[in-house]
Structure 1
Amino acid sequence: MRPLTEHKILVTGATSGLGQQVAVELAALGAAVVVHGRDPDRVRETAAKVAAQSADPARITTAVADLAALAEVARLAEIVAIDHPDLTVLVNNAGIGFGRPGGSREVSRDGIELRFAVNYLAAHLLARRLLPTLTANAPSRIVNVSSAGQAPFSADPLMERAYDGVLAYRQSKLAMIADTFALAKQTAGTGVTVNTLHPASLMPTAMVVESGWDTMDSLESGVRATMRLITDPDLDNMTGRYFFRLEEADPLPEASDPAAQTGLAEVTDRLLAEHLGT
């Protein structure tokens, strides 16, 4: 892996929690960072905080998009590809948590179940649209922030028959892991590695607080695990792996099941065709 000073890294969901602290640490180590969020004011405030840690504040830039709208995800990818042709790392960190206990089914701006839309579908689309840029700049990396909280998605990925926020979250995260494995196969030999991790359990982030669950791990522990997947040269040739904190681990079997991956791809392609015409 090249020195971090030679990398440009897009961190989605960087205006709070894990994403923000990862962006801060990357900047402090000399990387150019693209700070993403959906609220322009929070993005500007976060970028200033990140830039304060950089030896060259001009290397900290911003990108605003609501990942709950597929058109905005597509536009984000288009803007990043044009404005940042030197992008080398994509960190798909943005996500929606369990939600409030007992909450009703939520949908994205496209009418898709919200957690599936943001946690999985947006990351899928962003990675595919930025893949030409990342391939041109290889060696490069895609890091997907998933979770050890997983549930099979094949039966009802959009939670249309029965809804539970915790289950929806877990299904979306297993879908992300399955998609990581599928994309790693597609990119084998290109110099683009694709890995995913559970950074830590129930960190003190806004989504955990909203859910009412007790916190377990520190934010710092999650940042350390995520930074490893972004920066560790020992992972240069490792792709298609899932990590539990700092160790390689096995997710639920469905993530590696070809039939489940095919079913997920069919749902994904249908939704993208319906809402983007592609």
Structure 2
Amino acid sequence: MSDSTLSSRTVLVTGATSGIGFETARQLAGRGATVLLHGRTPEEARAAADRLTAEGTDAALLRPVAADFCHLAEVARLAESVLRDHPSLDVLVNNAGMAAPERHTLTGDGVEIAFQVNFLAHYLLTRALEPALTAPGRLGRVVNVSSSLHRTATIQWSDPHRARRYSRLAAYAQSQLALTVFAADPRVTAVSVHPGVCDTALLPLYAHEGGAPADGAAHVVRLCDPATEIVNGAYFDRAVRAAPAPAATEVRTVKRLTKLADQLVGAHATA
């Protein structure tokens, strides 16, 4: 059943082929939103859209898109295609995420893999899609799907790739802190949300048992709804606004992270 507050909306959901992202796409389309359903490859995105359609979602509301976030050039190309086909975008859900691997791993872009997939690729995508999110007549918003583990993190400014001292949990937490800090960037209206511990591929980082991904997705979808008023930089623990880690509200930290991210994305920011 469509919802009048979402039926005319266009939403890009990253990491929408499984887990919370898949359920977010399902719920948004179920309420009448047009969903740009992102997968790592075109085949994965199409398979997820086909699965949703087979389960009753209106195929006309699903637009499969693809980019491997391990490659910033693909992220830049994704942004270009979205801007071309959807010059006005209502919501960007930065959901794609991975657990940091056991061994220290760099992408082909020279970035620690969890930092790139969980944060830097989303930073690049958000910056590139800013014209669509701020188009005339649009009050676009960004919803960063973060984690309560951001509270345990520090950003290693002199060694963001953690080459000197690597821990998979610390690397993952750093990526989530960066994503949470990024929500306070003043250039677009953004919030971050911990959707709860859910039974997804990331569950081993948190606990042995988790809730249904659909329950976590409901907290994300609520923040996509224009009927839900938001304040830039706010952090939600599921449905409740909560104080994030102190660093997430520090203007100096936001500026420092922006400088670091701009250096890391380099020429891809204008690709």
Q: TM-score, normalised by structure 2?
A: 0.90
Question: What are the Cα deviations for residues 79-112 of structure 1, in whole angstroms up to 9, with x where unaligned?
Answer: 011012232111010011244xxx1111222121
Amino acid at match of 2:177: L
* Moved >4 Å (runs of 4+): 52-56, 274-278
Q: List aligned pairs for 1:131-170, cutoff 5 A.
A: 131-136=130-135, 137-150=137-150, 151-155=153-157, 156-170=159-173
Distance in 2, Cα, partners of 1:268 & 1:130: 16
Distance in 1, Cα, partners of 2:196 & 2:226: 18
1:222 aligns with 2:222: no
Distance in 2, Cα, partners of 1:243 & 1:36: 24
Extract unaligned runs of 5+ from structure 1: 188-192
Change in 2 beyond 3 A, CA 1:90/1:54: farther
Alignment-derived partner of residue 271 in structure 1: 264
Distance in 1, Cα, partners of 2:142 & 2:79: 14
The secondary structure found in structure 2 opposite 1:149 is: helix
Name the % identity.
38
Name the Cα RMSD after superposition.
Answer: 2.2
Amino acid at match of 1:196: S
Distance in 2, Cα, partners of 1:216 & 1:24: 20
Amino acid at match of 2:146: S
The secondary structure found in structure 1 opposite 2:228 is: helix
Question: What are the Cα deviations for residues 5-57 of structure 1, in whole angstroms up to 9, with x where unaligned?
Answer: 10111110000000001101111111111110113322111111233466742
Change in 2 beyond 3 A, CA 1:86/1:17: same
Q: CA deviation at 1:161?
A: 1.5
Q: List aligned pairs for 1:244-255, cutoff 5 A.
A: 244-255=237-248
Distance in 2, Cα, partners of 1:108 & 1:215: 31
Moved more, 38-47 or 118-127: 38-47
Residues 27 and 50, structure 1, Cα contact 8 Å, conserved in 2 = no
Amino acid at match of 1:120: F
Distance in 2, Cα, partners of 1:57 & 1:25: 13
Change in 2 beyond 3 A, CA 1:143/1:38: same
Q: TM-score, normalised by structure 1?
A: 0.88
Change in 2 beyond 3 A, CA 1:6/1:45: same
Change in 2 beyond 3 A, CA 1:113/1:274: farther
Amino acid at match of 2:193: L
Extract unaligned runs of 5+ from structure 2: none
Amino acid at match of 2:86: H
Distance in 1, Cα, partners of 2:12 & 2:142: 10
Alignment-derived partner of residue 85 in structure 2: 83
Alignment-derived partner of residue 71 in structure 1: 73
